[in-house]
Amino acid sequence: MAQAIGAGMTIVTRFAPSPTGRLHVGNIRTALHNWMLAKQAGGRFLLRIDDTDAERSREDYVEAIRADLAWLGIAPDGEERQSAQLARYDAAFAKLQAEGRVYPCYETQQELELKRKIRLGRGLPPIYDRGALELDDAGRAAKEAEGIAPHWRFKLDHDAPITWEDGVRGTQKFDPAQLSDPVIRRADGSWLYMLPSAVDDLEMGITHVLRGEDHVSNTAVQIQMFDALIAAADTQQSIPRFAHEALLVGKEGKLSKRLGSLGCDALRDRGIEPQAIVALLARLGTSLPVEPIADRGALLDTFDLSTFGRAPAKFDDTELERINAALVHQMEFEAVSDRLPAGMDAAGWHAIRPNLAHVAEAGEWWRLVTGPIDSREFSEEDRAYLAEAVRQLGWGEDPWRALTSALKESTGRKGKALFLPLRQALTGMDHGPDMGELLPLIGEARARERLEAAARA
């Protein structure tokens, strides 16, 4: 059960996805920030599967949500499922009904749309006109005799403004008379989001709700629901504190058309490291710099809702790739050894790592060591130079430095003329890993073979 928020209180946050699809960067960011808010304070982060929509919810998506959070290193301290709490919602509904805070409505969607258009035409806000409250018992009985099952609305109290101090947006104030009484239950008895979420937040002891700014008006309505539920239960519970962060947008506006490519599974398939996703999303939309920080402790230490901005947070796929490459360059061999090609050891990883944007590219670069390499055509002058390289090739502690020093002295070459033909002959490329690290990995026999072949080309 919920407790009063005060000194010494344990912060409890939650992430409440609906299992109707895969996680994408928008809801990953919500999950991450709730996890950070709790963990920074030594609190608890809970996962709640909002699966009351039986038609659209799928068990494979539930498993995918768990797997994606695990891959990202966002470990819940507990899990609840709304589908297991239906009796609790029925009980709360009955209490609110007894208090006169919910009421049945019989309008069709077409009738509601017509009402909205009429109000707009009169310059009024397009909210529900509470027409169902004008029905008496006989009127409701007549509707039901016609076979019309009611949907149910929560009746907002219009007597006082709804206010709260938002953790990101500051003081918020809503006139409840300018809001529609929200539908909380459909005619078929199934639940919409609002009431089950409020019931669960109280029962799970949620102290802080951090979510997108698209929920601000929902929060205004739910604050009255919390108050009504607490009063009906006659407890001393407190409602959660709320914070609403700006939504993510892309370079060209909303991300909605691109969410498939920005799903957790798609990012993983592209070779994006979970650390890169966390490093980017942890600070996206804040005044703090987005940096390739793999240490979650460092990210937690700087997490502060006061740094969150009100402007839309711009997600840039190029920036994610930049962060990913920088983090790959920091990764130790032990962290990636099971993803590397056969035969690549720590020295090989260290040599190739600076050239990678994704760990999966290691195999292509490792080919420079194991072969085969692309053949090149060399000028007569360069072939003679490479033949000299064969004669000068030795194998001591630093064979690359020894070879280039000897060739510089014997041929007078320097700079690009000294180094590039050797790189081309030894790797088939014009650029790549540091040759001082790469040549020992290629080995003397293979290096001599490649130089001899290039000298004959």
pLDDT, position 254: 67
Of all helices (H) and strands (E), which one includes residue 226? Answer: helix 216-233
Identify whether 372 is preceded by a cis peptide bond (ω within 30 of 0).
yes
For residue 199, the SS3 value is helix
257 is in an annotated binding site: yes
For residue 151, the SS3 value is strand
- What global pTM score does this model have? 0.91
- Look up residue 216 and give its two tokens: 């601000």
- Residue pLDDT, tens place only, 87-146: 999 999 999 999 999 999 999 999 999 999 999 999 999 999 999 999 999 999 999 999
Return the closest-CA partner of residue 168 out of 204, 237, 206, 215. Answer: 215
Q: Which domains does the chain have, with CATH numbers?
A: 1-99+156-330 (3.40.50.620), 107-149 (no CATH), 380-456 (1.10.10.350)
Query: What CA–CA distance (Å, rounded) separates 256 from 26?
Result: 10
Query: What CA–CA distance (Å, rounded) separates 139 from 203?
Result: 37
**Which segments in the chain show pLDDT lower than 50?**
1-7, 257
pLDDT, position 230: 95
> Torsion angle, CA of 6/9/10/13, rounded to 10 degrees?
-10
Query: What CA–CA distance (Å, rounded) separates 455 from 457?
Result: 6
pLDDT, position 5: 38
pLDDT, position 259: 58
Residues 6+ apart with CB under 8 A from 250: 258, 314, 315, 316
pLDDT, position 234: 80
- Residue pLDDT, tens place only, 368-377: 999 999 999 9
* CA distances to 184, 199, 215, 217, 373 from 194, in Å: 6, 9, 11, 11, 62
- Look up residue 213 and give its two tokens: 């700014």
Our CA angle for 216, 221, 226, nearest 5°, is 115
